[in-house]
Amino acid sequence: MTSPNNNLTPPPRPATDLESRITTAIEQKPEVQIPADFAARVAALSVAQPPQRRRYKPHFGRMIALFSAPLAALALFALAPHTAPNVKSLTFDTEVVLLAELAFIGWWIARTFNHQMSR
């Protein structure tokens, strides 16, 4: 069955009093009211709070790395006269581990200090 109104848009309605009041309320800008003593209150609050000092945050990783690098170097010099290039020798294996440790500590310190300087 066909309907007599084939138009899909609804017919225009006359604006009611409620709709016009809503439209005017939405379009009206609110009036900003700042109290007269606002600046004085903000100034009083900022004086009441003491400035916060920065606390020293110890960097234990850097301190341990800077302490252990010379110890590893001293251990390398102590083991050097007794080391023969043999994989089955415990002193040679220890020296290789200490060299790797020194290389890693040097890389870590360089990366940490470089990252800290770039901030």
DSSP-derived secondary structure for 1-29: ---S----SPPPPPPPHHHHHHHHHHHSP
Domain residue ranges in the chain: 60-117
Q: Is the pTM of this model over 0.75?
A: no
For residues 2-15, give the mean pLDDT.
Answer: 61
For residues 64-88, give the mean pLDDT.
Answer: 82
Q: Both tokens of residue 69?
A: 């690098």
* From 23-32, 60-69, 85-94, 109-118, the region with the lowest mean pLDDT: 109-118
Q: What is the pLDDT of residues 80-106, one digit of tens each?
A: 877 778 778 788 888 888 889 889 988
In angstroms, rounded to a whole number, what is the distance separating the alpha carbons of residues 118 and 53?
24
Long-range CB contact pairs, 112-115, < 8 A, 24+:
112/61, 112/62, 112/65
